[in-house]
Amino acid sequence: MQPREDFNRTVQLLSALALYAHTYGADPVFVDAVGPSLAASLPEPPPGVFPPGYDPTDGPRYPGGQC
């Protein structure tokens, strides 16, 4: 699997889990068990996902965020 495919597939799985978590009858124990593991398995974004020069740590300070 290519790095971009792996990243995209993991994002799709996280999205599906979020959708499932908000459906009637969803198992919250399953969501709580799978969610953190799936999020931790999210690989680094492959080159080209963000525009050139993008810095995710650059930006405004938000209330309640780190100083």
Q: Residue 6, class by beta-carbon neighbours within 10 Å (0-12 exposed, 13-18 middle, 19+ buried)?
A: middle
More confident residue, 36 or 3: 36
SS3 48: coil
pLDDT 10s digits, 16-61: 999 999 999 999 999 999 999 998 988 888 777 788 888 877 877 7
Confidence at residue 67, expressed as pLDDT on a 0 to 100 scale: 52
What span, in angstroms and rounded, lies between the C-alpha atoms of 28 and 33?
Answer: 8
Determine the Cα–Cα distance for residues 66 and 35; give it in Å rounded to an integer: 24
User: What's the average model confidence in pLDDT over 1-28?
Assistant: 90
- What is the pTM assigned to this prediction? 0.67
- Position with higher pLDDT, 1 vs 46: 46
**Judging by beta carbons within 10 Å of its beta carbon (0-12, 13-18, 19+), is residue 43 exposed, middle or buried?**
exposed
